[in-house]
Amino acid sequence: MNNKDVAGIFIDAGILAESEAVDYVVDKGIDAVLLSEKLMSAGKFFLTREVIEALDREDKIKDIGNVVEVKAASKKIIAKDIAGSVKVHSKAEEPQNTKTLTDFVAYFNDRYEKIKNIILAHTEVKNTMSIGRLNEATDEKNVCVIAIISDINISKNGHHILNIEDPTGTMTAIIMKDKNIGEDTIIPDEIIAVFGSVSNGTMFVNSMVFPDVPVMNSYDKRIEDDVSAVLISDIHMGSNEYLQKVEDRFIKWLKSGDDSAGKVKYICISGDNVDGVGIYPGQKQDLKIVDIYNQYLAFEKFIERIPEYIEIVIIPGNHDAVRLAEPQPSIGKNYFPNITSFKNVHLGPNPCRVELHAMNGRVGVDVLMYHGYSFTKIINAIPSLRVKGMDQPEYVMTELLRKRHLAPMYKSTQLMPSGDDPHVIKSVPDIFQTGDLHSFAVKTYRGVLMVSASTFQGQTSFMDRVGHESNPGKVTVVSLKDKRPKVLDLLN
């Protein structure tokens, strides 16, 4: 073998080898394949001549007729011998066509009915009344209305003046200054229950109930197999700032069996798989790969490096070659000529509900995957989130779970409306995974594990302009047995 062949073997194995080490392997006639296997089993991912010589001194490599004797790996890859199951529950996307006012009305009616039913499950929500009926009354005490907040204004005295509506009508609702009932977190177009009294067609609000998720005290999925899922996002293949070393270290770790890698059965990637073309003005100068098809070919090579026993779920983001309007369809096979034939690759829409490891008649782990394009505008609309900033995505994720909607504010993302609103969080997921902001966070809210997945891309000038701060190289590994997360830092 020549130097190029040997270097290629190490690259495919995810091992970073110095040129002097490659020269040494060629000169000594060492079997590079067996050497790479030995290094991975020992958890060694950086190869120098000194490393090879040290192994030789320890009599762990015996150069006899170009044969390297390698002891069996001490780490067992458990997931390799366990069957997997991936069920994408999100319905097939509708084709893009011209939408009418009727489509938007049907979309918002569906949203209203779904969230209304969620709110009605709260024990404190009783004896609700319609706005149409209240508009006919001069005075009513202790009323409850489930309504859409169509508009919010703050008076010069600091009172919140709301326009609220339901299918029967509209009315004005007032929250007096410093009421402190959550008025600083409400946004237009969300649906809540408001309690108060009505006088002359105006409601004076005393309290509010958000749809929210119930407190989940235990995790009872009872996944019998000791397997894990890896949650990553925002690969941005093709960018000048793509972090190849993060990819290489990730692949090395997966193949090593170390640090729980041997239990990884699933990988969920929540969008922006490539950097795209023409996403923003002047992007071309930020691209290492300027052709969209070649970007996806490079992404396919990354997927091909992942062991085939691992099930992979891929959804799109706003940089992918699908429509920007949500729900976004799954990425087309014309962009994935190779991996769409892989039995372990599953393509889903955005947002996407996926069930992992539903085995032997038992339910699996319910993962809500959403890229998160709505986050920036939601953060800007809520004062407390603006203070937290985009580098703390767990707070906007919590707020969306409270509102039970992924894009509650109209125009927080582009819509492709139909009679069904897929952004409603109708059932409570076990795991809520997002991306987009390039920040990183792992937090639990009322039993829901929230993961804002990290990126494989460094900081770009475009991210500077939109206020995103990259926190790359973090890999979240979640045990499906107990939903406990573990974080690997592939940069440090």
DSSP 320-374: SSS-SSBSBPPPPTTT-TTGGG-TTEEE--BSEEEEE---TT---EEEEE---TT
Query: What is each CA distance from 491 to 146, 321, 456, in whole angstroms?
Result: 48, 29, 10
Same domain, 237 and 152: no
Residues 316 and 177 in one domain: no
Q: Which domain holds residue 345?
A: 81-97+215-489
> CA torsion, points 185, 188, 193, 199, in degrees to nearest 10?
110
Question: What CATH number corresponds to the domain at position 163?
Answer: 2.40.50.140
Q: Examine residue 313 and state whether it is found in any structural domain, yes or no.
A: yes
Quick check: is 151 in a domain? yes
Same domain, 369 and 457: yes
pLDDT in tens, the chain (492 residues): 788 777 777 776 667 777 788 888 888 888 887 787 777 655 566 678 877 877 765 544 433 233 333 333 446 788 999 999 999 998 766 666 677 888 889 999 999 999 999 999 999 999 999 999 888 777 889 999 999 999 999 999 999 999 999 999 999 999 999 999 999 999 999 999 999 999 988 999 999 999 999 987 666 777 889 999 999 999 999 999 999 999 999 999 999 877 689 999 999 999 999 999 999 999 999 999 999 999 999 999 999 999 999 999 999 999 999 999 999 999 999 999 999 999 999 999 999 999 999 988 889 999 999 999 999 999 999 999 999 888 899 999 999 999 999 999 999 999 998 888 999 999 999 999 999 999 999 999 999 999 999 999 998 877 777 777 789 999 999 999 989 999 999 987
Q: Are residues 190 and 239 in the same domain?
A: no
Domain's final residue, options 182, 209, 236: 209
Note whether residue 378 is domain-resident: yes
φ/ψ of 386, rounded to 5, equals -65, -35
d(CA 94, CA 416): 9
Q: What is the pLDDT of residue 94?
A: 62
For the chain, how many structural domains are there in total?
3
Give the CB-side neighbour count of residue 326, counting CA atoms within 13 A: 27
Q: Give the pLDDT score at 41.
A: 58
Distance from chain centroid for Cα 155: 38
* 70 in the same domain as 89: no
User: What DSSP character marks residue 95?
Assistant: P
- Do residues 48 and 127 share a domain? no
Residue at token pair 């691992």 = 310
Amino acid at 387: V
Q: Is residue 425 a part of any domain in this protein? A: yes
